[in-house]
Amino acid sequence: MTRGLSRGKNLVINDINLTELEDGYYQGKYEDGRWSNEVEVEINNNKISRVKIIDDITFSQPEIKEKIFKRVIEKQTLDVDIVSEATVTTKAYLKSIEIALNR
């Protein structure tokens, strides 16, 4: 169960420039074993308005997902506090959002 933990904890999340994005839906997929996930991010007026899971991590934790997506939408950045006790899961979701918005 610890395979990939170190790699996940050290995963770098880069912020995104929302001013360069057109309105629409963006999909991104992060692949790393049980933390692999795919999201769809909706952009309206250069703001993140919704994040939706297309393919969730293996051991899904809905409360973690809801917290992190809420933080991203409220702050309009990927530079948000990591959910305690769920560092790798949080970073995996954030990485999928980053990948989606950097396409």
Residue type, 59: F
Write out pLDDT tens, residues 30-82. Answer: 999 999 999 999 999 999 999 999 999 999 999 999 999 999 999 999 999 99
Assess whether pLDDT exceeds 60 at residue 1.
no
Q: Which domain holds residue 68?
A: 5-101
CATH number at residue 65: 3.90.1010.20
* Residue showing tokens 């997506």: 69
Q: How far is CA 25 from CA 47, 51, 67, 87, 98, in A?
A: 12, 10, 21, 26, 13
Q: What is the reported pLDDT for 84?
A: 85
Specify the pTM: 0.92
Q: What is the reported pLDDT for 8?
A: 75
